């Protein structure tokens, strides 16, 4: 059994991780924000995985056992907050939008974490104010609890470009499309196409962090053309994959 490291105080710091680098599963008694100014950060818990490029940050509530993984060379900024400070009132991990001002605030604040001077404390206050207006983003890839969905999940994660219908996939794992659709609705609150798109977008962010060309990403993740992929990416993230900050 893997030992879970317990860190009472969530650290505030800047850390560099190589592509593929990890921070093993741990928990702390404070809330924490994980933000990658370069590369893409993935945070995994028992409930699923959250992934964030440089326009997003991940909120990790106090007590959550989580594991970090870097995709692309990562400049990781961690902001620890006591449980009395929860600007958005979130009790579960979430991906938050990061505008240019919030990006610079996080970078500046984590650059000198031991600084308790009045200017640095004012910087922290502005950072908290900005967090209050950072909307939650639908970038959570939930881990299914149903055994059939777990099997389907493994198939799609192994090959996001698999365009077979739910009927065909169902025959492979011994379940009807109607049964799988019902389990998806009950377990994850998603349709099959919504779930598959989330899986593909997560994989796309990982490939982009490793500087894979956009056209190659589109094809590897199952989109019929680069333009289709770019449109889906823009609707989800607010910018095109080719203009993604931090890459």
Nearest to 224 by CA among 236, 215, 237: 215
pLDDT tens track for 115-131? 889 999 999 999 999 99
Domains of the chain: 5-140 (2.60.120.810), 145-243 (1.10.10.60)
Convert the pLDDT of each residue in 179-216 to its tens digit: 999 999 998 889 999 999 999 999 998 999 888 999 99
On the question of pLDDT at 114 being above 90, the answer is no
* pLDDT(235) > 50: yes
Q: Residue 243: is its pLDDT beyond 80?
A: no
Give tens-digit pLDDT for 131-180: 988 877 767 788 888 999 999 999 999 999 999 999 999 999 999 999 99
- Quote the pLDDT of residue 60: 94
Average pLDDT, the chain: 90
pLDDT over 90 (residue 113): no
Nearest-angstrom CA–CA distance, 198 and 143: 12
Rounded to 10°, the helix 118-131/100-111 angle is 140
pLDDT, position 2: 56
Taking the alpha carbons of 182, 183, 184, 189 in that order, is the dihedral positive or negative? Answer: positive
Cα–Cα distances in Å, from 17 out to 14, 38, 69, 114? 10, 10, 9, 21
Q: Is the pLDDT of residue 1 over 50?
A: no
The residue count of the chain comes to 247
Residue 61 has pLDDT above 90, yes or no: yes
48: left (phi over 0), alpha (psi -120 to 50) or beta: left
């Amino acid at each position: 059994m893997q030992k879970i490291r317990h860190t009472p105080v969530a650290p505030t710091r800047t850390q560099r991780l190589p592509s593929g680098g990890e921070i093993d599963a741990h928990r702390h008694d404070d809330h924490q924000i994980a933000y990658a100014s370069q590369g893409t950060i993935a945070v995994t818990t028992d409930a699923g995985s959250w992934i964030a490029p440089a326009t997003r940050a991940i909120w990790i509530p106090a007590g959550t056992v989580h594991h970090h993984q870097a995709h692309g060379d990562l400049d990781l900024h961690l902001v620890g907050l006591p449980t009395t400070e929860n600007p958005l009132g979130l009790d579960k991990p979430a991906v938050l939008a990061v505008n240019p001002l919030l990006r610079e605030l996080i970078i500046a604040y984590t650059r000198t974490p031991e600084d308790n001077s009045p200017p640095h404390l004012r910087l922290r206050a502005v950072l908290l104010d900005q967090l209050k207006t950072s909307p939650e983003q639908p970038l959570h890839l939930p881990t299914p609890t149903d055994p059939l969905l777990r099997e389907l999940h493994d198939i799609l994660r192994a090959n996001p470009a698999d365009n077979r219908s739910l009927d065909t996939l169902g025959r492979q794992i011994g379940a009807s499309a109607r049964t799988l659709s019902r389990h998806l609705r009950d377990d994850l609150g998603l349709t099959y196409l919504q779930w598959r798109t989330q899986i593909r977008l997560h994989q796309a962010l990982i490939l982009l962090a490793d500087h894979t060309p956009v056209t190659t990403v589109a094809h590897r993740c199952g989109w019929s053309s680069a333009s289709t992929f770019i449109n889906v990416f823009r609707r989800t993230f607010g910018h095109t994959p080719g203009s993604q900050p931090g890459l």
